[in-house]
Amino acid sequence: MTHLNAPAQGSPDLSMRIEYWRAYPALSSPDVRHYGQPVALVVATTFEQARAAANLVDVEYAGAPGCYDFAACQDQTYAPDALIYGAIPPDTSVGDFDAGFDSAPVRIDVRYSTPYELSQPMEPHACLVVPHGEDLIVHVSTQIVDAARSSIVRTLLIDPERIHIITPYVGGGFGSKLRIHAETILAALAARALRRPVKVALTRQQMFHLTGLRPTSSQRVRLGAQRDGRLVAIAHEVTMHTNPRSDFIEPTAATTRSLYAAPNRLTSHRLTPLDLPRGEDVRAPGEAPGMLVVESAMDELADALGMDPVELRIRNEPTVDPEQGLPFSDRQLVDCLREGARRFGWERRPATPASVREGQWLVGYGMAAGIRGHIQVPTTAQVRLAADGTAVVQTDMTDIGTGTYTVLTQVAADGLGLPPDQVRVELGRSEYPVSMGSGGSWGAANSSTAVHRACQALREKLVAAARNDVRSALHGLDPAGAKFSDGIVSIDGVSEALSEIVARNYPDGVAADGQTPAMRDDPNYADYSIHTYGAHFAEVGVDADTAEIRLRRMLGVFSVGRVLNAKTARSQLIGGMIWGAGAALEEDAVVDLRSGAFVTRDLAQYLVPVHADIPEVDAVVLDGYDGKANVLGAKGLGELGICGAGAAVANAVFNATGVRVRDFPITLEKVLPGLPPLDD
Amino acid sequence: MRSFTYERATDAQAAVAAVSRPGAKFISGGTNLLDLMKLDIEQPGHLVDISRLPLRDIEELPDGGLRIGAQATNSDVAADPRVRTRYPVLSQALVSGASGQLRNKASTGGNLLQRTRCPYFYDTAAGCNKRNPGSGCSAIGGFNRIHAILGASDSCIATHPSDMAVAMTALQARIELLDADQSVRRVVITDFYRLPGETPHIETVLRPGEMITSVVLPPPPPGRQLYRKVRDRASYEFALVSVAAIVSAGQETIDEARVAFGGVAHQPWRSVEAEAALTGRPATMATYRAAAEAAMRDAVGQGHNDFKIELAKRTLCRTLAQLAWGAEEAR
Ligand SMILES: Cc1cc2nc3c(=O)[nH]c(=O)nc-3n(C[C@H](O)[C@H](O)[C@H](O)COP(=O)(O)OP(=O)(O)OC[C@H]3O[C@@H](n4cnc5c(N)ncnc54)[C@H](O)[C@@H]3O)c2cc1C
Ligand code: SF4
pLDDT tens column, B168-189: 999 999 999 999 899 999 999 9
Report the run of H or E that residue B285 belongs to, with start and end: helix B285-295
Q: Which fold has domain A217-375+525-674?
A: Aldehyde Oxidoreductase; domain 4 (3.30.365)
Predicted confidence (pLDDT) per residue in A462-486, tens digit? 999 999 999 999 999 999 989 999 9
Q: Which residues pair with A516 in a beta bridge?
A: A379
**Interchain pair A545, B315: CB under 8 A:** yes
Q: Which residues pair with B26 in a beta bridge?
A: B48
Predicted confidence (pLDDT) per residue in A4-50, tens digit? 999 999 999 988 989 999 999 999 999 999 999 999 999 999 999 99
3-state secondary structure of B301: coil
Asked if residue B113 has its Cβ within 6 Å of ligand 1, the reply is yes
**Interchain pair A607, B138: CB under 8 A:** no
Q: What is the mean pLDDT of residues A122-134?
A: 97
Predicted confidence (pLDDT) per residue in A307-365, tens digit? 999 999 999 999 999 999 999 999 999 999 999 999 999 999 999 999 999 999 999 99
Handedness of CA A221, A227, A231, A233 (dihedral sign): negative
Q: How far is B217 from chain A (nearest CA, A)?
A: 30
Q: Which fold has domain A379-516?
A: Aldehyde Oxidoreductase; domain 4 (3.30.365)
Atom of ligand 2 nearest to the CA of B120: 5
Predicted confidence (pLDDT) per residue in A551-574, tens digit? 999 999 999 999 999 999 999 999
Cβ-nearest to B117 among A585, A604, A609: A604
CATH of A19-63+119-210, one of 3.30.930.10, 3.50.50.60, 3.90.1150.10, 3.30.365.10: 3.30.365.10
Query: Is A347 annotated as catalytic?
Result: no
ipTM of the complex: 0.96
Predicted confidence (pLDDT) per residue in A574-610, tens digit? 999 999 999 999 999 999 999 999 999 999 999 999 9
CA-to-CA distance for A638 and A446, rounded, in angstroms? Answer: 13
Asked if residue B109 has its Cβ within 6 Å of ligand 1, the reply is yes
pLDDT at B326: 64
Handedness of CA A503, A505, A509, A510 (dihedral sign): negative
Q: What is the dihedral of CA A628, A631, A637, A640, to 10 degrees?
A: 0
Predicted confidence (pLDDT) per residue in A62-75, tens digit? 999 999 999 999 99
| Cα dist from A120 to A282, A283, A446, B24, whole Å | 9, 11, 25, 36
Which ligand places an atom closest to the C-alpha of B30? 1
The percent helix, strand, coil of chain A (3-state, each to 5) is: 30, 25, 45
Q: Is the pLDDT of residue A76 over 70?
A: yes
| H helix runs in A10-126, sequence order | 47-56, 97-103
Cβ-nearest to B233 among A545, A599, A609: A609
Cβ-nearest to A680 among B39, B145, B284: B284
pLDDT per 10-residue tile (average), chain B, 331 residues: 92 94 96 96 97 98 98 98 98 97 98 98 96 98 98 98 98 97 96 98 96 98 97 97 96 94 98 98 96 98 98 98 67 36
Ligand 1, atom 51, lies closest to the CA of B98
Predicted confidence (pLDDT) per residue in A610-654, tens digit? 999 999 999 999 999 999 999 999 999 999 999 999 999 999 999
pLDDT at A680: 62
Which residues lie closer than 8 Å to B69 by C-beta, 6 or more apart? B54, B55, B56, B57, B58, B59, B108, B213, B214
CA-to-CA distance for A461 and A459, rounded, in angstroms? Answer: 5
Please give the model's pTM, rounded to 2 decimal places.
0.97
Predicted confidence (pLDDT) per residue in A269-297, tens digit? 999 999 999 999 999 999 999 999 999 99
Averaged pLDDT of chain A = 97
CA-to-CA distance for A89 and A329, rounded, in angstroms? Answer: 22
Residues of each domain in chain A carrying CATH 3.30.365.10: 19-63+119-210, 217-375+525-674, 379-516
pLDDT at B331: 36
For A358, counting Cβ atoms within 10 Å of its Cβ (0-12 exposed, 13-18 middle, 19+ buried), the class is exposed
Atom of ligand 2 nearest to the CA of B157: 1
Asked if residue B146 has its Cβ within 6 Å of ligand 2, the reply is no
